[in-house]
Homo-oligomer: A and B are copies of this chain.
Amino acid sequence: MTQHKTKETYSIGELAKEFDITPRSIRFYEEQDLLSPERTGQTRIYCNKDRVRLKLILRGKRLGFSLAEIKNLFELYDSNPNSMLQLETMLQMTEQKRAILRQQLDDIQMLMAELDEVENRCRDELAELQKGN
């Protein structure tokens, strides 16, 4: 149970470096209500929860979600809803996201197959060239 390497707090610069983005981006995400770090005076202090959030934001972006959609997912995840209506709305939303993800999986497989083709053509031609030597 050695609490290893999980620092308690981070500066904006540290997070920026860790995730290879600019401080400006991190501040922008806060402007859009995706983060809300503590402060000491003016300076922002990020805790582990903030860091995880940031990681999720970046993952969402890589998947082509807009910041607005990511915020949406956060609210969905954070809310501890009580009405059946809310719960069912939530299930609908997760199903929507899931459909998009499935589509992306299909797309990726097709694209990978096409890359294979290109690569094979390449390797064949390279082999031809080397025979010529």
A residues 75-117 touching B (CB-CB < 8 Å): 76-77, 81-82, 84, 87-88, 90-91, 94, 97-98, 101, 103-105, 107-108, 110-112, 114-115
User: A105: which B residues are within 8 A, CB to CB?
Assistant: 105, 108
Q: Could you tell me if A62 and B63 are in contact, using CB atoms closer than 8 angstroms?
A: no
Q: Could you tell me if A62 and B103 are in contact, using CB atoms closer than 8 angstroms?
A: yes
CB distance from A131 to the nearest CB of B (A): 12
Please state the number of chain copies in the assembly: 2
Residue A125 interfacial (CB < 8 Å): yes
A118-B77 Cα distance, complex, nearest whole Å: 6
Residue A53 interfacial (CB < 8 Å): no
Q: Could you tell me if B118 and A90 are in contact, using CB atoms closer than 8 angstroms?
A: yes
A5-B110 Cα distance, complex, nearest whole Å: 22
Q: Could you tell me if A101 and B108 are in contact, using CB atoms closer than 8 angstroms?
A: yes
Q: Give 9 new A-B contacts, CB below 8 A, not counting A60-B111, A62-B64.
A: A63-B64, A77-B114, A81-B125, A87-B129, A88-B126, A90-B118, A91-B122, A101-B108, A105-B105
